[in-house]
Amino acid sequence: ASEPASFDILTSVSSLSVDDRSLQTQIDELALFSDAPAPSVTRVLYTDKDVSARRYIKNLMKLAGLSIREDAVGNIFGQWDGHETQLAGVATGSHIDAIPYSGKFDGVVGVLGAIEAINVLKRSGFKPKRSLEVVMFTSEEPTRFGISCLGSRLMAGSEALEKALQQTVDSQNVSFLDASRSAGYMRDHDDLSSVRMKKGSYSAFVELHIEQGPILEAEGVSIGIVTAIAAPASIKVDFEGNGGHAGAVLMPYRNDAGLAAAELALAVEEHVLETGSIDTVGTVGVIDLHPRAINSIPSKSHLEIDTRDIDEMRRNSVVEKIHQSAVAIAKKRSVILSGFEIVNQDPPALADETIIRAMEAASQQLNLTHRLMISRAYHDSLFMARVSPMGMIFIPCYKGYSHKPEEYASAEDIANGIKVLALTLAKLSLY
Amino acid sequence: ASEPASFDILTSVSSLSVDDRSLQTQIDELALFSDAPAPSVTRVLYTDKDVSARRYIKNLMKLAGLSIREDAVGNIFGQWDGHETQLAGVATGSHIDAIPYSGKFDGVVGVLGAIEAINVLKRSGFKPKRSLEVVMFTSEEPTRFGISCLGSRLMAGSEALEKALQQTVDSQNVSFLDASRSAGYMRDHDDLSSVRMKKGSYSAFVELHIEQGPILEAEGVSIGIVTAIAAPASIKVDFEGNGGHAGAVLMPYRNDAGLAAAELALAVEEHVLETGSIDTVGTVGVIDLHPRAINSIPSKSHLEIDTRDIDEMRRNSVVEKIHQSAVAIAKKRSVILSGFEIVNQDPPALADETIIRAMEAASQQLNLTHRLMISRAYHDSLFMARVSPMGMIFIPCYKGYSHKPEEYASAEDIANGIKVLALTLAKLSLY
Ligand SMILES: [Mn+2]
Ligand SMILES: [Mn+2]
Ligand SMILES: [Mn+2]
Ligand SMILES: [Mn+2]
């Protein structure tokens, strides 16, 4: 008796209705779990605010009738059993952690939207064949431990990360393991390898996300269908000099670690621009000086650098040039290049053809304008692609703003994204 | 009956003996009042450690038999009455606050050394004619409120500072007034104008200090006699851009406040070097980026710049060029120059001829090599010079290091400095 309903939805998409009001309330309420004053959001892994927000998400999953499971690092799974539970499931999800002083849509739209997509399908009378699963990933943002997509990297089986996390500490010298335990994870017998996901556990993984770029808004297009995710790399650099008194040490006798940092920051920009490709980007988001006093020559500097490209080899050559510049600057300024750590240097990911076709078909059926595009930001999808066919749905956001309080997506655009997600999940569930 | 003793000391300098052991213990003990682990010292205005250190100093003053007085902001005075109390006194002193991760000699030698100089004179049987006064100045370092020589500026009668301090807050938004109260100062009826010192209250002010430069050590000279203090200026600069996601915002659409800061830091160095004078120095000790996340384009940056010269006009022209560069960089990078505040821009100070001669004569009598020199670091003496004839005694320090944990002066060099100080005070007391 359940079969007809399953097929109905694919012919009668008008039955898909998003509860706009509840969703807006949820977005606003989730934003209150923040360590920065509104409209800024700061929600960092395993802090009290993160733990409260996780409780909020699990409650919504429960209200949606999902059965909930958490793994050793706090990836949260909410499952709606299909009628063929022996088949690999179809998963969707994103993250809710937020970098300091950012906004309330990045990641959140793909978690709250995934739960609402389940509600949409339930309200429409749809019954899944393959199980549908909502995933909330742990620490997509690198804020606390310098590791981006921590949860999905572990799910994708990064043994290097499993090993590194035994030693990893945050800037306050709190270890990953202690922080994790204080949030209720990594209990006595938990093992990081238990987070690994078998390849083939999911037949598809789809992530809904704001574009974080200006294209959809500028072109007036409702839905972006991601074909590839650019390859990210991140680097930490440390310089050391002799420091000294800002008045007493004359210019020829200085080796200023702060000026070395300033030069390297400008060199990053130069190397990115000299590829000549619009697709290469590079950013120095962190420059820390020590002792950080107006009347003291910096004796230490620390930079954190992010560079990405859709072309992995070109991206790697930028990383190499940044290294060469760091060495040359250190030599020229007689400072020591005391650290040059490539924290991660990931390949790009391609979206799965079948999922792309399902998302295109869903957009068409819903009468929504859509286009293929590249994701320049990375996402947990970059790592899910290692263990599952992957696809991403983008929606427009105001001026392309992200990672700042002005980040915004309209209720209508979010609802459109959720409908496309719901219909795509339905199709993939029956596939 | 006391007169002969007073004159004895000037003919028999062998009676001047420094208690090396106690002094070293005091230097080491004072360094324990620190918010950084040894050998680093961090002692910031009105913190618990500062309050404890003040108590320690007052106790030493008491043991030396001085009568103690504190003013509304915590400048501490310990007086040894001369037998002609109607005459203006002779003062000596320095500071004990320490910038983050600095050493244990800067300022401290001039406070502990001043108290020991009093002990030396007392042990020798000397009786002052003019009263001798030891001063411990509040906040010579600008660490907490961005204002250097806070105590001596107020003593010198800076009405602009009295006014500004009503509004001044630290980086944690704690007001100067609240911080001051929490340390036991600025009580209900205290008025900042009460800190002002009448010109002529002192007939002389002499400060003992480590050189904070390499000259005395390199030349093997024991005593530096300061003829002038270089003119310091400090500037705070803020840039603002649109920030955004490090992956999603393509390079042509960026206005990166962090790169503007990096360019300005290098421009400061350039403008300093292009004066062609060894006496011009400039330092960017602080660069703060916001939101300070590896995957976020800096939307705000903050710089703190220090520049000094023995030539005031040349120093002012460097400040002007830094301003022009800040404007040009903001324009070029489409960021907003949201702040360019010249926090202070002080003239240089000349030492008093009579005091210089007294210091020279003292060095000669003590058989210590000595030379005239310029102080490139500023000191409370820069402001005391506005209300009193001023002089400074420098002693060698290891490699010229200062404002870092490696800062060091030998017990012998310190003892030499204290003897010259004691004898100079004795001469000036009788003058
Ligand atoms: Mn993000
Ligand atoms: Mn995201
Ligand atoms: Mn100092
Ligand atoms: Mn000093």
CA B95 to chain centre: 6
The shortest CB-CB distance from B293 to any of A100, A253, A279 is to A100
Query: How many other CB atoms are there within 10 angstroms of residue B391's CB atom?
Result: 28
CB contact under 8 A, A265 and B280: no
* Torsion angles phi and psi, residue A50, rounded to 5: -65, -45
How remote is the CA of residue B139 from the centroid of ligand 4, in Å? 10
Distance from CA of B122 to the nearest CA of A (A): 34
Identify which has the larger pLDDT, A315 or B3: A315
Nearest chain A Cα distance for residue B125, angstroms: 38
- Which phi and psi angles does A199 have, rounded to 5°? -60, 135
pLDDT at B419 over 80: yes
d(CA B328, nearest CA chain A) in Å: 16
A306-352 pLDDT, tens per residue?
Answer: 999 999 999 999 999 999 999 999 999 999 999 999 999 999 999 99
Q: Where do the domains of chain A lie?
A: 3-230+348-430, 232-345
DSSP A194-252: GG---TTSEEEEEEEEE-SSSHHHHHT-SEEEEEEEPEEEEEEEEEE----BTTTS-GG
Confidence bin at B178 (pLDDT 50/70/90)? very high
Per-residue confidence (pLDDT) for residue A2, from 0 to 100 = 40
Contact B247 A214 (CB under 8 A): no
Write out chain B residues lying below 8 Å of A273, CB-based. 251
- The predicted structure's pLDDT at residue A4: 40
List Cβ neighbours of A305 (8 Å cut-off, separation of 6 or more): A234, A235, A236, A237, A268, A282, A283, A284, A285, A322, B294
Residue B10 has pLDDT above 80, yes or no: no
| Closest to A393 measured CA to CA, from A364, A363, A349, A366 | A363
Query: Could you tell me the sign of the dihedral formed by the alpha carbons of A405, A409, A415, A418, in that order?
Result: negative
SS3 call for B260: helix
pLDDT in tens, B77-128: 999 999 999 999 999 999 999 999 999 999 999 999 999 999 999 999 999 9
Residue B248: list chain A partners with CB under 8 A. 211-213, 376-377, 400, 402
Which residue of A143, A232, A286 is in closest CB contact with B289?
A286
**Centroid of chain to Cα B386:** 15
How far apart (Å, rounded) are the C-alpha atoms in residues B427 and B405? 35
Question: Can you tell me the mean pLDDT for B408-422?
Answer: 98
Percentage of residues in chain B having pLDDT higher than 70: 97
Question: Residues of B46-68 as b/e, b for ≥16 C-beta within 10 angstroms?
Answer: bbebbbebbebbbebbeebebee
What residue in A sits closest to B286 (Cα-Cα)?
Answer: A292
Q: What count of other Cβ atoms lies within 10 Å of the Cβ of residue A145?
A: 22
Topology of domain B231-345, per CATH? Answer: Alpha-Beta Plaits (3.30.70)
Looking at chain A, which residue has its C-alpha nearest residue B303?
A294
Answer yes or no: do A142 and B265 touch at CB < 8 A: no
Second-level CATH architecture of B3-230+349-430: 3-Layer(aba) Sandwich (3.40)
The amino acid present at A58, given as its one-letter code, is: K
Question: Is B401:A299 a contact under the CB 8 Å cutoff?
Answer: no
User: For B204-231, what is each residue's pLDDT tens digit?
Assistant: 999 999 999 999 999 999 999 999 999 9
Does the pLDDT of residue A6 top 60, yes or no? no
Is the model's pLDDT at B5 over the cut of 80? no
pLDDT in tens, B315-340: 999 999 999 999 999 999 999 999 99
Report the alpha-carbon distance of residue A249 to residue A414 in Å, rounded.
58
Residues 6+ apart with CB under 8 A from A286: A302, A303, A304, B289, B292, B293, B294
- How far is Cα B418 from Cα B322, in angstroms, rounded to an integer? 41
pLDDT digit string, tens, across residues A64-95: 999 999 999 999 999 999 999 999 999 999 99
In a mutational test of the A interface, the residue from B283, B304, B392 whose CB has the highest number of chain A CBs within 10 Å is B283
- Cβ pair B72, B185 in contact under 8 A: yes
B73: region left, alpha or beta (phi > 0 left; psi from -120 to 50 alpha): alpha
Which residues from chain A sit within 8 angstroms of residue B245, using beta carbons?
Answer: 212-213, 377, 402-403
The helix/strand/coil state of B77 is strand
Amino acid at A155: M
Could you give the percent of chain B with pLDDT greater than 90? 94
Compute CA distances A230 → A87, A195, A351, A365, B26, whole Å: 31, 25, 11, 29, 61
Burial class (CB in 10 A: 0-12, 13-18, 19+), B363: buried
Nearest ligand (C-alpha, residue A95): 2
Domains A3-230+348-430 and A232-345 share a fold: no
3-class DSSP string for A45-69: CCCHHHHHHHHHHHHHHHHCCCEEE
Which residues neighbour B319 within 8 Å (Cβ) at sequence distance 6 or greater?
A: B233, B235, B307, B342, B345
Nearest to B384 by CA among B214, B229, B217: B229
Nearest ligand to the CA of B108 is 4
Mean pLDDT of A365-389: 96
**pLDDT band for position B14 (50/70/90)?**
confident
Residue B1 has pLDDT above 70, yes or no: no
Q: How far is the CA of B98 from the centre of ligand 3 (A)?
A: 7
Tell me the CA–centroid distance for residue A287 and ligand 2, in Å.
Answer: 23
> Amino acid identity of B166?
Q
Are A412 and A419 contacting, i.e. CB atoms less than 8 angstroms apart?
Answer: no
pLDDT of residue A189: 76
ipTM: 0.84
Residue B405: other Cβ atoms inside 10 A = 19
The CA distance from B181 to A130, in Å, is 68
Q: Which residue has tokens 């300024």?
A: A333
Question: How do residues A232-285 score in pLDDT, each as one tens digit?
Answer: 999 999 999 999 999 989 999 999 999 999 999 999 999 999 999 999 999 999
Residue A259 has its nearest CB partner, among B99, B266, B292, at B266
How many whole angstroms separate alpha carbon B176 and alpha carbon B167?
8
The enclosing H or E element of B421 equals: helix B411-430
How large is the average pLDDT for residues B391-420?
A: 96
Number of helices and strands in chain B (H, E): 13, 15
Chain position carrying tokens 């002005």: A406
How many Cβ atoms from other residues are within 10 Å of residue B200's Cβ?
10
- A286 contacts in chain B (CB < 8 Å): 289, 292-294
Residue of A nearest to B140 (CA): A295
Pick the CATH number of A232-345 from 3.30.70.20, 3.30.420.40, 3.40.50.720, 3.30.70.360: 3.30.70.360
With helix as H, strand as E and coil as C, how does A85-106 read? CCCCEEEEEEECCEEEEECCCC
By the 8 A CB rule, do B149 and B94 touch? no
User: What's domain A3-230+348-430's architecture?
Assistant: 3-Layer(aba) Sandwich (3.40)
Q: Is the CB of A377 less than 8 angstroms away from the CB of B247?
A: yes
Amino acid identity for residue B428 in this structure: L
B130-142: pLDDT as tens digits? 999 999 999 999 9
Q: B63 alpha carbon to ligand 1 midpoint, in Å?
A: 61
Question: Strand A300-309 and strand A231-240: pairing?
Answer: antiparallel
Chain B partners within 8 Å of A295 (Cβ): 99, 141-142, 148, 234, 283, 285, 306, 403
Residue B94: half-sphere exposure toward Cβ, Cα within 13 Å:
26
Q: B85 C-alpha vs ligand 2 centroid, how far in Å? A: 74
Q: Which of A101, A291, A294 sits opposite B101 (nearest CB)?
A: A291
Q: What pLDDT score was predicted for residue B248?
A: 87
CB-based contact A377 B305, cutoff 8 Å: no
- Report d(CA A30, CA A43) in Å as an integer: 10
